[in-house]
Structure 1
């Protein structure tokens, strides 16, 4: 079964928190990375079966965009079956911290 990766980039921490919360509650996915980009942007990535990642990312976008204030979802992307070389180079692999929660 292909393990997809879904990423959401937001403006502001409350927005990324709302998106991450909605993502892990909406689908059978594992949060694998959260990090800060530039200019107050944040991103969060989840891994799981393709259909679950699609559902999770949709829920994360909706939750992030519903927050009042200046935060918003800037962009998102889903990779259905990332090749091994992408998993090696980019921080989307399961880590020791995320392994206990792997679905």
Structure 2
């Protein structure tokens, strides 16, 4: 997230397949960029996307619905205008993408 982004979207699932399904649906539903995923532990995985607020909201909604069909949706969240200090956390996650 080196350049300013309008929003950051996150979806957390229990299970890798749910995360893959969510990521695929996010990328297909709206003009967002998938920036990475993080394995939390005990089967929990979070995927992240960025883009314009409306696009990220639509992508997260679509991704959450897709994740629920094949696995367990734990949480979903959209952060409009994320603070620049989040870059240090996002950089660690986006390396995995």
TM-score normalised by L of structure 2: 0.86
Contact 2:36 2:96 in 1 (8 A): no
Q: Where do residues 1-103 of structure 1 align in structure 2 (5 Å cutoff)?
A: 2-67=5-70, 71-87=71-87, 89-91=88-90
Q: Gaps spanning 5+ residues in structure 1: where?
A: 99-103
Give the number of the structure whose residues are more often helix, by fraction: 2
Greater C-alpha radius of gyration: 1
Q: Gaps spanning 5+ residues in structure 2: where?
A: none
Contact 2:23 2:47 in 1 (8 A): yes
Output one character per residue of 1:29-83: Cα deviation in whole Å (capped at 9) or x when no partner: 000011200101111000000000000000001001012xxx2110111101011
Q: CA RMSD in A?
A: 2.3
Secondary structure at the aligned position of 1:6 is classed as strand
Once the two structures are TM-superposed, the CA of residue 96 in structure 1 deviates from its matched residue by: 7.9
Secondary structure at the aligned position of 2:41 is classed as coil
Contact 2:14 2:44 in 1 (8 A): yes
Secondary structure at the aligned position of 1:28 is classed as coil
